[in-house]
Amino acid sequence: MRKIKSTEEIVYQVFVNALLLLTLLIVCIPLLRVITMSFTPIKSGRQILGGLLIPFSDWSVAAYQQLLTHPAFLSSLANSMIILVLGTTINLLLTIPLAYVLSIKGLPGRKFLNILVLIPFLFNPGLIPTYLVVTKLNLIDTYWAVILPGAVSVYNCFVMRGFFEGIPEDFKEAARIDGAGEFYILRRIILPLSKPIILTVGLFYGVSHWNEFFAPLLYLNDTKLQPLPVLLRNILLAANVNEYVDTNAMSAAPIQSLKAASVVLTTLPMVIVYPWIQKHFTKGTLVGGIKG
């Protein structure tokens, strides 16, 4: 009896792990293809598995060399960094106080504030009305156009509010009795206790800034201001549509290697911080994803 059971168990485990392995391959093969492509020179000799791999001796870093020394790439990288740092700072400077105040029970007007925040969350009038605001404020061709319209994500704010509400009232009450002001309480008591949620929400914001390509495309016409994803998009479209980017300056390396290398370089910073992201994001989605 016991013996039969364990064979069943073994078969089952083989099946389950085979399924996981298949999933892993499906995820990894496209990524591997991109990486290999980025190292493939114009005249590569042998291709293994239809170009999924090439012999190590054929590897070429020409595409990377060309990208990393190209002024357009470097300035886009700098723009992305500026938008990332400035944007995330503003996100947090607005979201933290808002979430904190929304979490204070018994504050007159709290309900009103909640509704003020909830309405835009539920009803979105679409692209054009916001575009008109940005135009009206003369923000076109400034970083602010990319940063300000989405400065507070209501979803992130609710995630953070939920966390603040979970902090025992006693901590705050004790400080209030000692005569501490609200700014002091927020900075010295709440924030040190809230590091995990601030990191999570900060990462949420940071990733969306790093990935954002539509807002810059919409609001930044000046190519000197364009961030990495916009440059990447222009490079990817370059083969079909020539007017998008100064491809001539880059055309010494095979265009497909350049494309793949720019994909890898744009992804790389994300992959480097990914272990932290994974740790905190998974926690964050479970906190905020569905609120019991």
Partner 1 sequence: MSSTVAQPAGTMKVKRKTLNLKRYWTLYLMVLAPVIYFLVFRYMPLVNAQIAFKDFSPLDGVWHSPWVGFKNFLEFFNSIYFWELMRNTIGYSLAKLFIGLPLAVILALALSETAAKAFKGVVQTMTYLPHFLSWVIMYGVLLALLSEGDGWVNMIIKAAGGETKSFLGSPNWFPVIVVLSDAWKETGWSAIIFLAALAGIDPALYEAAEVEGATRLQRIKYISLPGIADVIVVVTLLRLGTVLDAGFHQLFMLYSMPVMSVGDILDTWVYRQGILDFRFSLATAVGLFKGVIGLLMVLVFNRLAKKFSGSSLY
- Residue 124 found at the interface with partner 1 (CB under 8 A): yes
Q: Any contact of residue 175 with partner 1 (CB under 8 A)?
A: no
User: Does the protein bind partner 1 through residue 130 (CB under 8 A)?
Assistant: yes
Among 81, 92, 94, 199, binds partner 1 (CB under 8 A): 94
Is residue 268 near partner 1 by the rule CB under 8 A?
no
Residue 106's region, left for phi above 0, alpha for psi from -120 to 50, else beta, is left
Contact predicate 70/216, CB 8 Å: no
> Which residue carries 């900060």 as its tokens?
202
Considering only the stretches 62-70, 72-80, 193-201, 225-233, report the one whose residues sit in contact with partner 1 under the rule CB under 8 A. Answer: 225-233
Q: Rule CB under 8 A: say whether 191 interacts with partner 1.
A: no
Q: Which of 60, 194, 212, 280 binds partner 1 (CB under 8 A)?
A: 212
Binding status of residue 145 toward partner 1 by CB under 8 A: no
Residue in 131, 142, 196, 223 binding partner 1, rule: CB under 8 A: 131
Q: Is 34 near partner 1 (CB under 8 A)? A: yes
Residues that bind partner 1 (rule: CB under 8 A) add up to a total of: 95
Told to check if 152 binds partner 1 by CB under 8 A, we report yes
Least Cβ distance, residue 198 to partner 1 (angstroms): 16
- Residue 230 CB contacts under 8 Å (≥ 6 apart), including other chains: 76, 213, 216, 217, 220
Do the Cβ atoms of 117 and 102 come closer than 8 Å? yes
Integer-rounded Cα Rg, in Å, for the chain is: 25
* Window contacting partner 1 (CB under 8 A); options: 24-32, 62-70, 74-82, 187-195: 24-32
Measured CA to CA, the distance from residue 262 to residue 265 in angstroms comes to 5
Tell whether residue 207 is a contact of partner 1 (CB under 8 A): yes
* Cα→Cα distances 55→48, 123, 257, Å: 8, 54, 16
123 near partner 1, rule: CB under 8 A: yes
Chain centroid to CA 140:
23
Per-residue interface string for the shown chain with partner 1, residues 238-257, x marking contact by CB under 8 A: ------------------x-
CA distances from 91 to 99, 161, 241 (A): 12, 15, 36
| Sign of the alpha-carbon torsion through 268, 270, 276, 279 | negative
| CA–CA distance, 126 with 43 (Å, rounded to integer) | 49
The reply on whether position 259 binds partner 1 by CB under 8 A is yes
Q: Is 285 in the site for partner 1 (CB under 8 A)?
A: yes
Pick the closest to residue 88 from 152, 133, 160, 164 (CA basis).
152
Of the candidate residues 60, 66, 88, 95, the single one contacting partner 1 (CB under 8 A): 95
Q: What minimum distance in Å lies between the beta carbon of 234 and partner 1?
A: 10
